[in-house]
Amino acid sequence: MRVVLTGGGTGGHIYPAASIGRQLKREDPDTELLYIGSSTGLESRIVPKLGIPFETIEISGFKRKLSLDNVRTVIRFLRAVRRSRALLRGFRPDVVVGTGGYVCGPVVYAAARLGIPTLIHEQNVDPGMANAFLSRYADTIAVSFPESKARFRRGRRIVHTGNPCATNVLHADKAKGYASLGIPEGSRIVLVVGGSRGARALNEVIPDIAGAVGRLDGVWLVAVTGDVHYEQTKERLNRLPAELSRRLRVVPYLDNMPEVLAASSLIISRAGASMIAEITALGVPSILVPSPNVTHNHQEANARSLADAGAAVMILERELAGQKLAGTIARIMGDEAVRRAMSEAAKSLAMPDSAERITAELRTLAAPKRGC
């Protein structure tokens, strides 16, 4: 089967697409993939490292207010559709998958116009602008949350599949996660990660929690700061006494995030949909600090669903303080019964076969091929 993947802008769109590609390759190593993204988006850095052939189109998002920029965006969209049609005709895919972000708009739209079967995947409860637009053209809409079904137009095929990142992380080798960080295998890791671009609010409290974690027996702190915040965070951590920073690892980015997640005993993060899927699939206790700067405040809803189930502790960003977070870490890491209960609660929310559900839909769409 030949499959085009598209989606970009943030890791929340890119990693689900990559997870679908990995699952297709697991099921059939002869599967041929092509990823279409933007040359300026995060996908241009991530996807080539995954070994997936990568092509680009140029596109930008619409402003929410009327402006001359939106006129230029329409022109860029039409050009991107023409470029997408050329790429699709050259590759001749059996099916096209879009996972959100502005870049997938012209690709999925062009595929629909060429008669190529299409599937879009929505990670959050409330659809993003790209998927809301594409829902009228896609053959199948896959959703991570059952509540999302009501947010799309009736008359389309809508299936609850979960987030494919859940399946991908279950195949991760935790031993490689330990080795990549130079941490003894079997150690307990507290992982702090603010998403693909980092989170200033989390980075600002890392020095406070580093001291607290340094006092816990056999516990390591791994902080993933994001490129923008790395140097400043590293400088602040260098001021810590050596005895409190001996079990500390600080990196700007991780190419092997699934392996490190699998090795972690506690995860402190934002509450993006892909991270939620990975946390629940692995059954790892978490402390979630939802971003207040996302559309419809969907991260708070994500975090609350885990907190209400007993799988996570939610701390709103306006209430985040180093001492409070350090105390919460100590309470969870210092009580095995608490950690076990949170782990079981997280697993109860998981959909570990999400990627398989999506690839099954793709195979149904691709047979028989409608061609281009």
CA angle 117, 146, 136 (to 5 degrees): 35
Identity of residue 91:
F
Residue 98 in marked binding region: no
CA separation for the pair 40, 30 (Å, rounded):
30
Q: What is the DSSP track for 181-225?
A: HT--TT-EEEEEE--TT--HHHHHHHHHHHHHHHTSTTEEEEEE-
For 353, half-sphere exposure in the C-beta direction (CA atoms, 13 angstrom radius) is: 5
CA separation for the pair 19, 295 (Å, rounded):
24
Instruction: Indicate if the alpha-carbon torsion angle 360, 364, 367, 371 is positive or negative.
Output: negative
Residue 293 in marked binding region: no
CA distances, 133 to each of 122, 126, 136, 188 (Å):
12, 13, 7, 44
Residue 232 in marked binding region: no
CA distances, 205 to each of 38, 51, 269 (Å):
34, 36, 12
DSSP-assigned letter for residue 6: E
Residue 163 in marked binding region: no
Residue 196 in marked binding region: yes
CA separation for the pair 34, 28 (Å, rounded):
15
Residue 302 in marked binding region: no
Instruction: Provide the annotated binding site for UDP-N-acetyl-alpha-D-glucosamine.
Output: 10-12, 124, 196, 299
Instruction: Provide the annotated binding site.
Output: 10-12, 124, 196, 299
